[in-house]
Structure 1
């Protein structure tokens, strides 16, 4: 595992344990993720992260609002996948980023308790997941 990944994980663990973010942690995350982190913080500040969870299973997916005028919403799993164009282009295809701003926003929002929580039946969640 790369040193930057180890640092990132350590910072996220600290944030989760305190449910808050210090200036030092913000600086580290900004250094590691740059403009994507700035954009992610704006999304979180605008309450643009929903965690959609199945009532019985507890399984969840995040729906994150983009910053464009269209306010498109992207489904993502913070540590693994996002349905946005940037994820495929910058993360998967070119390998220039570790993750996209939507993944960062979801991870930050869940870490500090800033998600809009939405409960649905497990059937509704499965139907939602089958669409992407």
Structure 2
């Protein structure tokens, strides 16, 4: 079984009340120590923001050290099996995941997925005008 196929299983095993050394070891089995520690640091710094849209949608943003990135953890897949895919607007995702295929995700995406499982996302409601400003800010950076 490919490593990327194990990701959903490992993430589903993470629970807020039982995340311990075992959960950490499962993450370290799939991802480098550097990636896991960077993602957990983002969560500890409360950098994963979950915006709830008025019409029921959700958008994630991760505050990085140099910029903020929009993360899309569950995009519908274009393939016939309709597997979901993920995307982050950071340069590391573009290079390491999409171009060189040396990683299966960036620290922002991993932080978003783990924070969601641990109920550690900072939740904010967002209005349509705020969402438009958020989108423009990302296009300008």
> Which range, TM-score by smaller chain?
0.7 to 0.9
Query: How much has 1:129 moved relative to structure 2?
Result: 4.1
CA contact (8 A) 1:53 1:125 kept: no
Asked if residue 19 in structure 1 is aligned to residue 16 in structure 2, the reply is yes
Query: How much has 1:23 moved relative to structure 2?
Result: 1.2
Asked if residue 97 in structure 1 is aligned to residue 103 in structure 2, the reply is yes
Equivalent position of 1:77 in the other structure: 72
Equivalent position of 1:109 in the other structure: 115
Partner SS for 2:38: helix
Equivalent position of 1:58 in the other structure: 56
> Distance in 2 between the 1:124 and 1:43 partners?
23
Partner SS for 2:60: strand
- Structure with a larger share of its residues in helix: 1
Number of residue pairs the alignment of both structures matches = 125
> Distance in 2 between the 1:9 and 1:63 partners?
21
> Distance in 2 between the 1:3 and 1:31 partners?
13
When structure 1 is superposed on structure 2, of 102-111 and 114-123 the one drifting more is: 114-123
> Distance in 1 between the 2:128 and 2:57 partners?
8
> Distance in 2 between the 1:9 and 1:76 partners?
17
> Distance in 1 between the 2:58 and 2:125 partners?
9
Instruction: Give unpaired runs (5+ residues) of structure 1.
Output: none
> Distance in 2 between the 1:126 and 1:113 partners?
26
State the superposition RMSD in angstroms: 1.9
Output one character per residue of 1:34-89: Cα deviation in whole Å (capped at 9) or x when no partner.
1211100011011111011102x2211111011x3x3x111111351111000000
TM-score normalised to structure 2 length = 0.78
Query: How much has 1:102 moved relative to structure 2?
Result: 0.2
> Distance in 1 between the 2:135 and 2:28 partners?
31
Partner SS for 1:99: coil
